[in-house]
Structure 1
Amino acid sequence: MTSVQKNLLVELFVEELPPKALKKLGDAFAGVLRDQLVAQGLASADSVLTAYASPRRLAAHLTSVIAQAADKAVSQKLMPVAVGLDASGQATPALLKRLAGLGADASAVAGLKRAQDGKAEALFYESTARGAALAEGLQKALADAIARLPIPKVMSYQLETHCELPGWSSVSFVRPAHGLVALHGAEVVAIEALGLQAGRDTHGHRFEAAVDPVVLRDADSYAQQLADDGAVIASFDARRAEIARQLAAAVVKVGGGAKPIDDDALLDEVTALVERPNVLVCSFEREFLEVPQECLILTMKANQKYFPLLDAAGKLTHQFLVVSNITPDDASAVIQGNERVVRPRLADAKFFFDQDRKKSLASRVESLGKVVYHNKLGTQGERVTRVMKIAEAIASRLAVSTGDATLPAHAVQAAQLAKADLVTDMVGEFPELQGTMGRYYALHDGLDASVADAIEDHYKPRFAGDTLPRGDVGVVVALADKLETLAGMFGIGNLPTGDRDPFALRRHALGVIRMLIEKDLPLDLAALLGDAAAQFRGIEGFDAERATVALQGFILDRLAGSLREQGASAQEVDAVLAPLPQRLGEVPKLLAAVRAFAALPEAAALAAANKRIGNILKKAPEADAHVSELLLQEPAEKALHAAMAATVPAANAQFDAGDYAASLQTLAALRAPVDAFFDGVMVNAEQPDLRLNRLGLLKSLHEAMNRVAQLERLAT
């Protein structure tokens, strides 16, 4: 008999959930419920799941759920035949004991199945397991869904006991739970969780619900009844879309090309804070616009969850949007209340800005000596001194290629002032504004615009896809700052692990890589690391070798991962990075050249030959790249030498000119003479002079072929 399919609804009604985790909690709750019911045969892979998450509920709606799962045939291996049956074919005590443990007796022996299991024949007991009933299966699924919720912080609370004896039972969950709904069609499923018995009653909006409780008719009426009777949009996605729609409608009403700030994280957080959104237009006094807009935007977003409005040019206006959780007939009181709340926040920002500008950035540098950076690496003041010296070394090298004689002085000044805003009132209140406020204060102090920009930009790139510093001064200071962090942490052994990277060393390494490559800087990686490590001399426990050798490997490893993510094959990446290229700006061109070479018909044979040559040379450390024409005897070795004389100088000239693809293309002409050499020449000749000469020929060939990349890495 086939069990009737009905749709299922499960809801946990709780106190206000953490907004930044709500979407993840809702998806996880619904997803685990669905997976567990499918695993138990109560739902199918085709069952449609709808997750619901609002500030006070987590819920899941699943289609086509049956009341009783189908029975399953179960085959259990018992033991090898030789152990279970004696020489006369009778059951041994071991077999009878095993069967008894499964609820069977000696009568089951005749029905046991024999089957090959590895090298031996084994006995199998076949039975039928009754399918799970919905109440039983849902109870298990709900317990698992609750246990596996990605809860940021668990709360423990107590439930009143309903027995005559005094006492409390303790429950742990993300927030105290007050209701549980479980409906299979229109029928309540008898389950329990967190001290609650399942029913059909839930609750709507705290103030605007038409009825309380909302008594659900069936699983399919959940969302509509909550909307109609409870004044709640239960779906996170539907509520988010409604807020976005209302925001867009509000800016049309404001006019003048206004638009709300684009912030998906803020939209998600606000969606998690309201059950019935109502967008209102508010404003503040225009005098606050004298404060840098980053400060005002941050305080409105972070503290009040408002959407600041920008004009068509991207400048902050004196208006902002509020997503209210109530919809009164007259919204003026709500608007005035929000305007009254934001005013002191903006006044604080204006006060901090005015106070900070009374002191120059330069006068604040001394205070950094009182701020601890790391217990082994000293204060922020000491760190600033190191960054200044690294920046000066980098800028001096770049000044030669750029012709900008002011670069070293500007870079040193920017490096000295880059951290000074850490001791300002504004950054003390809003750490997210470090760098940004430094730029404003530098401009107020009359410093060069390139220095001011560098103070803001030296943190870039802050994350994957972030922009790079806008000018040479910013690039120099950003490189110096990141290299100082990397060298310092590697030097004291503070390396990232698989799941921990508290100093963001991977991000810093990728930032260095991006600047060197995307800006195509003529800088040598080993020299950069050497400059950085040199600034830590005298620090106890600092290992300079670890800060250079291990750090170089770490950076190249990050580069390899980045290139593979961009679509390069592992073989191509290995070929390019194996020679440890020092000018990372050349890596994209080297990679393109190797990719073009790999497409040539000669590539596979040359890569294989290169690998063979490498293996030969590993066993002949005495070989050097010297060839005597007088010792060339075989026609094939003479032909190879002549071919190299005709092609290698041209390939080297193309390499020196930066045309790596052409260099490899030229070397591809050596395929035929290389093949002929290995077919017709005995490399390890008995005569020592002939052997060394042939090894010298191969070493010369190996060096010529591996200038662009280690071609043997392309061999399959």
Structure 2
Amino acid sequence: MSTQNLLVELFVEELPPKALRKLGDAFSSVLAASLKAQGLTSEASVVTSFASPRRLAVHVTQVAAKAADRSVQQKLMPVAVALDAGGNATPALLKKLAALGADASAVPNLKRAPDGKAEALFLDSMVAGATLAEGLQKALDESLAKLPIPKLMTYQLGDGWSDVKFVRPAHGLVALHGGEVVAISALGLTAGRNTTGHRFEAGVSPIVLSDADSYEKQMAEQGAVIASFDARRAEIVRQLQAAAAPLGLTPIDDEALLDEVTALVERPNVLLCQFEPEFLGVPQECLILTMKANQKYFPLLDAKGKLTHQFLIVSNISPADASAVVQGNERVVRPRLSDAKFFFDQDRKKTLESRVPGLDKVVYHGKLGTQGERSERVRAIAHAIVNQLRMATVPYTAEAKDEFEVLDAKAQQAARLAKTDLLTDMVGEFPELQGIMGGYYARHEGLRDGVAIAIEDHYKPRFAGDALPRNHTGTVVALADKLETLVGLFGIGQLPTGDKDPFALRRHALGVIRILVEKNLPLDLAALVESALPAFGELIANPAEALLIFMQDRLAVTLRDQGYSAQEVDAVLALAPQRLGDVPRRLEAVRAFAALPEAASLAAANKRVSNILKKVEGELPSAVDTGLLKEAAEQQLNAALAQIRPQADSLFEQHDYAASLRALAALKAPVDAFFDGVMVNAEDAALRANRLGLLKNLHEAMNRVADLSRLAA
């Protein structure tokens, strides 16, 4: 069957920029999937998505004018209902056939087949393939219905009576199969071949598309529009780099900003602008944020990552003389930077300490009190964390004692002041700067640098891939802050559900996990959670069990995302290791063990031992009675354990988990011989208990690093 390429374009008013990429991908993917499901495209068909501020479009190759006819088998009804005692069609069957366009002549050709406990009749028939007009209409309707539209708007059509609901008013529809228009309609529009280019710079209006394949070229040459989102984005990146390179500067790296700007222009034109250098006295995070968030500009950084007074804009027009555009943008950004400078100057007139009482007037949560009360809880939890670190320090010297006293004092001060920047004008204007501004204001006041850094870092990591706190004080306060959030909200039943996580508890849990793992802290997770409970008094119920399960699940997801297999992760986490810093080393050890030739046999034996021991009632002897070892195989296994286990345990205590598991690999031969030649469940009770005790020792020896039975196929 001959095929041609297809183009569909919906021309609309300016689409929401933050949603444009998703809208374009959804429009093309759903429409193409529907065409494929109807048999109008093939596996070889290529789908190309287009999305600009004023259009959604899709190009699909090898689209048939009509889908092939196909045979279908349709269930009619149970045989007992369809045929009478003489095997003749009942009125119910004839009525069903008539509804399907068949008559009594079809009865002899009906097929019988089992259907559950009964037998049913089935009708084989040929269904005519959909025409492109029919199939494309269905595909377009489905695509529009499934667009991830943040909010629908209602507008009137040209007749003045009809209403249409869509993300933005639509003004044009194109549908071309090769060079022919496909007769479809949507949103009160009838498909044609005319579209509109750039709002100001199109060379032709309307643009008359000659065929489906000329769309991208005609839009660029006649319409001054780069229709492809990805191509337009790449062009912006090229121009940004070309403008910055001669200056020895680098545009700020911000993927979300790049996507948003790509969704705001149809033909980008990057221009260089600047502001007065005196504004650089304001923290660069403030200036960068106001330029990015409010103006969609690209700040320029020097080789050391410091903000300069120059920046790049992406214009949607390309005048011969761009000076008016440059001057206009420089004039617009100046008041924004002046506001940031004013906020910074005003905020520094009050100390962070003077703002502490104000936290008692800021509600944190209706059931958990104010930010002031929350800060006190964070202080208490930070103190408990320092105590746990102190107890884990061996040897605990006089020097270590002094260091912990200093750490505790710094953590207490940082926790007390960490939330005070929420009351500043700058953070009130830019909530994203909380913590960051607290660090600046702390340094301005002359607070010791460790405290200032801790105030700045206590929110870290803020997102996946973010840096961890830079010093010990920041680490302690960051852990305390996240634990206070997790314990408090779990304690009042505010758990995440499905994709809803309004308090970002998954992010907080991952933050705790990353700090414990990547900093390899000698802290027990369960003990950490328990140590946070006293800070809440009678305010909450004890959420430790649910919270630890939640943290374990988050850890498992994270580890699988890092490339570890589900088996490897299950094997390690089955033991619920509380010192999370050990987990990566355990995983690497398990991976290395699994590659050994002895691994499969030992994992299977371990699983067998686990199953045997699960069925045992009562306590088993901790020591094996060598006098009851009757068979040579059990004597050899006991001897091998006595020789190998001390070595494996010693390596385990040194945290050399890979070597510990390698040592255990030597048990393969005696373990195999034991199961080949020894009856565990002997009739003699003493003999049976002794053999079970031997298996218990084997199980304990083999499962210190991980539950190796989880590696069994």
Q: What range describes the TM-score normalised by the shorter chain of this pair?
A: over 0.9
546, 549, 554: which is aligned to 2:550? 554
Q: What's the offset of the Cα at 1:326? A: 1.6
Q: Quick check: 1:177 aligned with 2:173?
A: no
In structure 2, what is the Cα distance between the partners aligned to 1:214 and 1:676?
Answer: 83
Residue 645 of structure 2 aligns with which residue?
A: 648
Counterpart pick for 2:288 among 297, 300, 308: 297
1:379 aligns to 2:370 (yes or no):
yes
Match among 236, 244, 254 for residue 251 of structure 1: 244
| Residues 50-61 of structure 1: pairs in structure 2 closer than 5 A | 50-61=48-59
Number of equivalenced pairs: 702
**Structure 2 counterpart of 1:164:** none
- 2:384 corresponding residue in structure 1: 393
CA distance in 1, matches of 2:312, 2:327: 13
**Residue 76 (structure 1) shift:** 2.8
Q: Does 1:108 align with 2:106?
A: yes
TM-score scaled to structure 1, two decimals? 0.92
Deviation at 1:443, TM superposition (A): 0.9
Counterpart residue identity of residue 337, structure 1: G
1:196 aligns with 2:189: yes
| Partner amino acid, structure 1, of 2:559 | L
**Closer, same or farther: CA 678–182 of 1 in aligned 2, 3 Å:** closer
Give the 3 Å change call, closer, same or farther, for CA 186–580 of structure 1 in structure 2. Answer: closer
Cα shift at 1:295? 0.6
**Deviation readout 1:562-610 (Å, 9 max, x if unpaired):** 2223233333322222222121111222223333333344434443443
Check whether the contact 1:114–1:121 (CA below 8 A) recurs between aligned residues. no
Q: 1:318, CA displacement in angstroms?
A: 0.9
Partner of 2:566: 570
Give the C-alpha shift of residue 710 in structure 1: 2.5
- Residue 453 of structure 1, CA deviation: 1.5
Distance 1:48 1:574, change over 3 A: closer
Matched, 1:584 2:584: no
Higher mean C-alpha displacement, 293-302 vs 7-16: 7-16
Residues 21, 653 of structure 1: CA spacing in aligned structure 2 closer, same or farther, 3 A cutoff? same
Matched, 1:159 2:157: yes
What is the Cα deviation at residue 137 of structure 1?
2.0
Q: Cα–Cα, structure 1 residues 80 and 230, in superposed 2: closer, same or farther, change >3 Å?
A: same
Identity of aligned residues (%): 71
- The structural deviation recorded for 1:191 is 1.9
Q: Deviations over 1:153-206 (max 9, x none)?
A: 111122243xxxxx6222110011122222233333222211122223322222
Q: Which residue does 1:452 correspond to in 2?
A: 452
Alignment partner of 1:709 is 2:709: no
Match of 2:228 among 232, 235, 242: 235
Where in structure 1 are there 5+ consecutive unaligned residues? Answer: 162-166
Change (3 A) 1:121 1:634: closer
Counterpart code for 2:300 = L
* 1:340 CA displacement: 0.7
| SS class of match (2:162) | strand
**Is the CA contact 1:278–1:327 (under 8 Å) kept in the aligned structure 2?**
yes
Check if 1:507 corresponds to 2:507: yes
2:479 alignment partner AA = L
CA distance in 2 between partners of 1:242 and 1:145 (Å): 28
Query: Aligned partners of 1:666, 1:246: CA distance in 2, in Å?
Result: 59
Offset at residue 142 of structure 1 (A): 1.3
Counterpart of 2:443? 443
1:640 to 1:490, Cα distance in 2 relative to 1, 3 A: same
Structure 2 letter corresponding to 1:364:
R
* Conserved? CA contact 1:396–1:407, under 8 Å: no
Match of 1:145, as an amino acid? S
Quick one: distance in 2 between partners of 1:683 and 1:106? 70
Paired amino acid for 1:581: P
Distance 1:183 1:706, change over 3 A: closer
Q: Do the aligned partners of residues 694 and 231 (structure 1) sit closer, same or farther apart at CA in structure 2, a change above 3 Å counting?
A: closer
Mapping of residues 304-343 of structure 1, within 5 Å: 304-343=295-334
Report if aligned partners of 1:70, 1:131 keep a CA contact under 8 Å in 2: yes
Return the letter of the residue paired with 1:505: L
Mark the CA change 1:5 to 1:557 in structure 2 (over 3 Å): closer, same or farther. Answer: closer
Residue in structure 2 matched with residue 621 of structure 1 by the alignment: 618
Query: C-alpha distance in 2, partners of 1:654/1:68?
Result: 71
1:217 maps to: 210
Task: Tell me: CA distance 1:77–1:452, structure 2 relative to 1, closer, same or farther (3 Å).
Answer: same
How far apart are 1:267 and its partner, in Å?
Answer: 1.4
1:138 CA drift (Å): 1.8
* CA deviation vs aligned residue, 1:2-58 (integer Å, no higher than 9, x gap): 5x5333222211111000111111121122222222222333332332222111111
Distance 1:347 1:656 in 2: 60
Pair 180,663 (structure 1): closer, same or farther in 2 beyond 3 Å: closer
Alpha-carbon distance change, 705 to 92 in structure 1, aligned in 2, over 3 angstroms: same
- Between the aligned partners of 1:217 and 1:605, the Cα distance in structure 2 is 68
Alignment of 1:92 with 2:85, yes or no, is: no
Are the equivalent residues in 1 in contact too, given 2:609–2:699 (CA < 8 A)? yes
Which deviations, in whole Å up to 9, do the C-alpha atoms of 1:93-145 show, x marking residues without a partner? 232222111122223334x2435445876544333323222222222111111
Residue type matched to 2:465 in 1?
G
* Higher mean C-alpha deviation, range 396-405 or range 124-133: 396-405
Query: 1: CA distance between counterparts of 2:147 and 2:217?
Result: 26
1:108 and 1:550, CA in 2 relative to 1: closer, same or farther beyond 3 A?
closer
Give secondary structure in 2 for the equivalent of 1:241.
helix
CA contact (8 A) 1:7 1:184 kept: yes
Deviations 1:447-477 (CA, angstroms, capped at 9, x unpaired): 2222211212111112222221122221111
**Aligned partners of 1:407 and 1:324: how far apart in 2?**
51
Q: For residues 207 and 678 of structure 1, do their structure 2 counterparts lie closer, same or farther at Cα, with a shift above 3 Å needed?
A: closer
Aligned residue for 2:655, secondary structure, equals coil
- Give SS of 1:107's match: helix
The alpha-carbon distance between structure 1 residues 616 and 312, as it changes in their structure 2 partners (threshold 3 A), is closer
SS of match in other structure, 2:157: strand
Letter in 2 for 1:206: R
TM-score normalised by the chain length of structure 2: 0.92
Matched, 1:127 2:89: no
